[in-house]
Amino acid sequence: MIQVVKASSDWIGFVNFQRSYNRFAQRPLFSKLKLSTKTDYAARAVLALARQYGAGVAVTAEELARETQAPSSYLVQIMTDLRAQNIVKSHRGKSGGYRLARPPAAISLADVVRGVRGSILDISALSGSKCPPELRAAWRILQKSIEQEATRITFQSLVDAQTEKDRMFYI
């Protein structure tokens, strides 16, 4: 079972719950797959815009930077990449800012990762001739699995999950 967790400000980890431990090092053999800060900020920005989608208003770069806790100048570069992939739209003027180009249900986590990275999981062994064919096949399976899960997760599902959590009450 794999769960997405946020481990620090510069990467997101995929943690394997069924860890196999090396008995000498007592470290998990497969524990973390790192994604870039850029990917994390891009996902945060799209989630923030997804939350505002129904209001129909553009969110300024400063507001978005404040909400995502990302540097404003870096966020503008990220939004340029996302705009090129038709994930966000930018609007100029007094009421300008950013909006989603499509409904949150039509934007997956995979779309955002590909928008800023080009691929979800780049494994150099897939193109290398030194990698044994059996291992190359295993890397392809891992790559396909992660891509399928990232495609399955839409930003609407993330917004709905938070909305459901907000509706819960405790006695």
Q: How far is it, in rounded angstroms, from Cα 14 to Cα 134?
A: 23
Q: How far is C-alpha 162 from the geometric centre of its chain's CA atoms?
A: 16
Helix (H) or strand (E) holding 87: none
We report the CATH number of the domain holding residue 44 as 1.10.10.10
Q: Are 79 and 58 a contacting pair, CB within 8 Å? A: no
Residues 86 and 143 in one domain: yes
Instruction: Answer yes or no: are the C-beta atoms of 88 and 60 closer than 8 Å.
Output: no
> What does the pLDDT profile of the chain (171 residues) look like in tens digits?
444 444 444 444 444 434 443 444 445 444 466 788 999 999 999 999 999 998 888 999 999 999 999 999 999 999 999 999 999 999 888 878 999 999 999 999 999 999 998 887 777 777 777 888 888 888 889 889 999 999 999 999 999 988 766 665 555
pTM for the structure as a whole: 0.74
- Is residue 46 in a domain? yes
Task: Count the alpha carbons within 13 Å of 80 in the hemisphere toward its beta carbon.
Answer: 6
18 and 98 fall within a common domain: no
Structural domain that includes position 16: 1-34
Looking at the domain assignment, is residue 85 inside a domain? yes
Q: Number of folded domains in the chain?
A: 2
Partners of 4 in the β-ladder: 14
Same domain, 26 and 43: no
Polymer length of the chain: 171
Q: Are residues 158 and 107 in the same domain?
A: yes
Q: Are residues 77 and 58 in the same domain?
A: yes
50 with 83, same domain: the answer is: yes
Q: Is residue 170 part of a domain?
A: no
One-letter amino acid at 107 equals I
Q: Tell me the pLDDT tens digit for each residue of 52-89.
A: 998 888 999 999 999 999 999 999 999 999 999 999 99
Q: Report the alpha-carbon distance of residue 26 to residue 89 in Å, rounded.
A: 48
Tell me what pLDDT residue 80 has.
94
Q: Tell me the angle at which helices 72-84 and 37-51 cross, rounded to the nearest 10 degrees.
A: 80
Are residue 48 and residue 61 in the same domain, yes or no? yes
